[in-house]
Chain A
Amino acid sequence: MVALERELSEPAAPAISADAIPLRLRRQGGTPRQVLATMVIGTIVLALFASRDLASWTERLGDTPAVLAAQKIAAEWDQDMAALGLTRPHEALRDGLRRLLDLRWGSQR
């Protein structure tokens, strides 16, 4: 609250804060269509490698007929990805993390 202590000799103009993404990083970029393309491709990659979470997300949505259909599709999709071996990195990372979480100091039980 207290960037505060500059003298107020100047008129009290509203402080317009600096851009979070500075100008030097905004000189190059893309269009809204490129944003959409990036997002769509990222989502497809995510659907391939994080199919486990897609299935568990649909399970949390409820039990309307549409959701039940979505759950079935998500479960089948997850099985297909598992058959292709694409869920292995996800499981390996989770296993590794579990081991890290279980680490204890010598003095700890």
Chain B
Amino acid sequence: MKKSIAVTILILIFLVTLTSRLFLAFQTPYISYDSYDSLRQIENINEEGVPLFNDELSYGGRSHLFPPIFYYLVSFFDIFGSDFAIKVIPNLLFALIVIPIYLISFNITKDHLISLMTSFFSGFIPIFFSSVNSLSSYSLVAVLTLFVIYSLLNLNKKKHLNLSLILIVVFVFTHSSVFLVLIGLLLYLLMLKVESLETMAKEQEIILFASFLALWFNFIVFKTAFAIHGPLVIWQNIPLQILTTYFFDLNIFQSLYFLGLVPVFFGIYTIYSVMFTSKKKSLILIISLSLSVLILLWAKLLAFKVGLLFLGLFLVILSSHSIKNAYSYIKKTKVPSLANWFLAAVFLLFLVSAIIPSIYVASNSLDDVPSQSEIDAMLWIKDNTPVNSTVLARVQEGHLITFFAERKNVIDDDFLMVEDAQTRYDQVQDIFSLRLKNEVVRRLTRYNVNYIYFSGLFGSEENLYYVNDDCFNLVYDKSIKIYELTCSLR
């Protein structure tokens, strides 16, 4: 295949991936519940030039800690309209991964057709569609990870050397998941040593530099969080009940569902063949990165979905090697014409095993956005309640309160730097299920709550038990109910 044809097909794959993601994303005008926090950060950057590190509304007043590059990137594109920035940029970044995947696969296989196939696979890994409606910084992280790998594989060329340095610095300043990549790179050096393979001085130097930069930067940024939460910072101080849904054991059937049969099967076969037969440095690098994901998932130091996202990327790359080997093998047999049929079969198998789950995962993601009635209720709060009032809602709805209603919430899903996160979570959950009015009023008084927002969408309760008594005034009565607290307990 000619290079120009390959490039044309690659652009087509990119456009197909982007179009399908955008088609799904624009099925709703809203974004996922948790993304409204990022949206506030972006709005603050647009208005004041800096992210919202001191937030007066979240938890009734708290501070945030995060590296802000992703928010600056999205806010830059806000000049093309907020919908473009919020919906298009994350999906554009996710769609962009097909390009580095193609480049890395080509570096490994030296085969345009198989690299293009792999590139297509990467665009339709089901787990990637879970973020189709999210303003997720992992979109940038995924692209950066792949370009860092690509530049590390081509360090002999000077432009790649400079590129790798720039990308690593940007990556360090973007997200703390750089540690996942660094652990993988250090494992890579270790594996080369164990296998008695030669390491390039440039590789060592870049990995060392990146490791020290990441350590130093993250200690500076998260210094206060470490002092407050200790090792719980690793789990972002998430309350126990939520933690069990974020971090759980890797299950092979779930992996097949979220990653697709082809990347998992061929990826694992590549790991086996590289470990025991061919010692190819580029593949050892990808295997080391996969290994770091598996170790972190096993140790429950990495959220399941994030782990699968990275694993998906690495397994897709690895699968290209096995597909290429099988393809070359069939070509050498007495029926070489079957080789192309083999590729067609693999492609078909991927379509069957990944496209359908992708659609299902994407539709689930579309359900994870607030409805019009919720937004209306939020806007009612904004127009009809005192500016400094506090509204209690479920943890998932916390960011809606701060973004749409512009009122203080009691809890939301950013728990870092919140000293009593576990207690708050328990108490807020209890408020929705308690039957004793006095106890509810006591807890509401403690958090200075003025209004209760009850949608019934989260949790098992269909009604609040205590609201028929005095003290609770139903001020908004549609599918969403809003109660005003009219008394307090001293």
Are chains A and B native binding partners rather than an unrelated pairing? no
